[in-house]
Amino acid sequence: MVEFRFNVWVRAADGPKGPPGRGRVPRPVPGGPRHHPGSEISDVNTQVIVLNGGSSSGKTGISRCLQAILPTPWITLGVDDLVARLPPSLTASGSGIAIGERGEVEVGAEFRRIESAWTAGIAAMARAGARVIIDDVFLGGGASQERTRGRLAGLEVLWAGVRCEAETAAARELARGDRVVGMAAAQADSVHEGVVYDVEVDSAKSEALDCARAIAALVN
Looking at the annotation, which residues are catalytic?
Answer: 80
**Element at 120 (helix H, strand E):** helix 109-127
Q: What angle (nearest 5°) sits at the alpha carbon of residue 110, between those of residues 106 and 112?
A: 65
| Torsion angle defined by CA atoms of residues 40, 42, 46 and 48, in that order, rounded to the nearest 10 degrees | -90
- Enter the DSSP assignment of 32: S
Kindly report the backbone phi and psi dihedral angles of residue 101, in degrees, each rounded to the nearest multiple of 5, phi listed first. -65, -25
- What number of residues does the chain have? 220
d(CA 100, CA 169): 18
Strands (E), the chain: 8-9, 48-52, 75-78, 97-99, 105-107, 132-136, 157-163, 199-202
Element of type H or E holding 14: none
